[in-house]
Structure 1
Amino acid sequence: MSATILSVDAAKQANLNLVEGHKGKQALHEAVVAYRANRRQGNAHTKNRSEVAGSGTKLWNQKGTGNARMGSKRSPIWSGGGVVFGPRNTTVWAKKTNKNVRKLALRTALTARISDGAVATISGLSVADGKTKSFVSAVKSLSDAKKLLVIGSFDENTFRSARNVQSVQLISAEDVNAEQLLNYPQVLVTTAALETLARRTA
């Protein structure tokens, strides 16, 4: 299996709707920020004094013990007490982008990668036995760089064979987005995937 660099002229002949000039940079920025924000989990979460375990009983009498006035053991000044200004995962990080912005971002990313000579086409790829060794053998001749492999569609066996290969991400042309196109030094696109991308960028 061999790969052929996809030129701008060849992309236009394949009906890919590329971006002219500097149009689309803002859309690309907004889309990438949104994709990253939507993956943000915000797992850091501390408990305040109402949430930590512990009795609410006053520790000792208000007067007469020689100790400072003290209430619940759940007070923030005690070890194991609540946290005053700690992080709380109540913030919603998700960002929305409309369909036209995502579409323009995809076109812009495709245009940039094709112009850089980072996109190549292959006839197709399928791994019938679902083995990682078979997948690595199929793609090792293409390049040594980390690559995004965009396929029109793939079966469960092909997906299974690729999921443990760290240097290659396998994705369908229907699901690939602008951020993924920018993340890899090389993008490999099958002939069938070109048809799907042409429809998505039309």
Structure 2
Amino acid sequence: QSGKAHGEQDLKIETTGASRQLIQDTVTAIRANGRQGNASTKTRGEVAGAGKKLWRQKGTGRARMGSIRSPVWRHGGIVFGPKPRSYAKKVSKRQKRTAFREVFLARANAGDLIIVRDLKFDSPKTKAFAALIGKLPLEGKKSLLVYGQPDKNLILAGRNLADLDLTSADSLNVYQLMRYGKVVLTGDAVDIVRARVEGKSHE
């Protein structure tokens, strides 16, 4: 691999003029679905501690107090704190496909997609992988490498590079297309992505 352009490929993908709001909704759903939502706090009924009244109501000169677990006390219960919940948002397959097509086409028209036809490694050597990637016109931007069929040597060689992330063509989404400065696709990944934007594969 020399890192130089050997030609251009016409993807022949037609635009549908999707709105920015549709794309925004899709990206929001993708990010929301990636949240764990397992933050949890204890209310005054759940925090450890006795329920006995600390001192009598009158006659001590102190403020009246009923429980050591009261939210106004240190180590007391939390009022309106977070509880485990799902942040999941639903978007239709058509919406995801339309947003994916529009963003993919926009990145292609902007010259942000790089296709590498033959990307094979006999051994998982990060040094060799970094040397090859260094020849590509990534312009110093954090980039995403999209592969088609899983290649163990490719994945092991590239997973330790700071400015490069890897993903499969099947799992590539709108958020990833928008997040990275450059998107590098292997030859077999191009065929899979084309099938996705044409609606010939399941999301």
Identify the TM-score tier after normalising by the shorter chain: 0.7 to 0.9
In structure 2, the CA distance between the partners of 1:106 and 1:113, relative to structure 1 (3 Å rule), is: same
Q: 1:101 corresponds to which residue?
A: 95
Alpha-carbon distance, 1:126 to partner:
2.8
1:67 and 2:62 aligned = yes
Q: 1:83 corresponds to which residue?
A: 78
1:125 and 2:119 aligned = yes
Assess if the C-alpha contact under 8 Å between 1:124 and 1:151 holds in 2: no
Q: 2:128 corresponds to which residue?
A: 134
Distance 1:77 1:103 in 2: 51
Where does 1:47-58 land on structure 2 (aligned, <5 Å)? 47-58=42-53
Q: Which moved more, 1:95-104 or 1:144-153?
A: 144-153
Q: Which moved more, 1:88-97 or 1:185-194?
A: 88-97
Distance 2:6 2:20 in 1: 24
State TM-score, norm by structure 2.
Answer: 0.85
1:34 and 2:49 aligned = no
Alpha-carbon distance, 1:200 to partner:
0.9
**Residue 157 of structure 2, aligned match among 154, 161, 169:** 161
1:190 and 2:186 aligned = yes
Q: 2:201 corresponds to which residue?
A: none
Assess if the C-alpha contact under 8 Å between 2:146 and 2:186 holds in 1: yes
In structure 2, the CA distance between the partners of 1:114 and 1:171, relative to structure 1 (3 Å rule), is: same
Q: Which moved more, 1:171-180 or 1:66-75?
A: 66-75
Alpha-carbon distance, 1:165 to partner:
1.2
Alpha-carbon distance, 1:43 to partner:
4.8
**Residue 146 of structure 2, aligned match among 140, 150, 167:** 150
Distance 1:49 1:5 in 2: 68
Give the letter for the 1:201 counterpart: V
Give the letter for the 1:119 counterpart: L
The number of equivalent residue pairs is 195
Distance 1:112 1:126 in 2: 28
State TM-score, norm by structure 1.
Answer: 0.85
Distance 2:78 2:90 in 1: 32
In structure 2, the CA distance between the partners of 1:141 and 1:160, relative to structure 1 (3 Å rule), is: same
Assess if the C-alpha contact under 8 Å between 1:3 and 1:122 holds in 2: no
Distance 2:185 2:43 in 1: 51
Alpha-carbon distance, 1:192 to partner:
1.2
RMSD over equivalenced CA pairs, Å = 2.2
Distance 1:109 1:28 in 2: 8
Distance 1:108 1:145 in 2: 22
Assess if the C-alpha contact under 8 Å between 1:45 and 1:88 holds in 2: yes
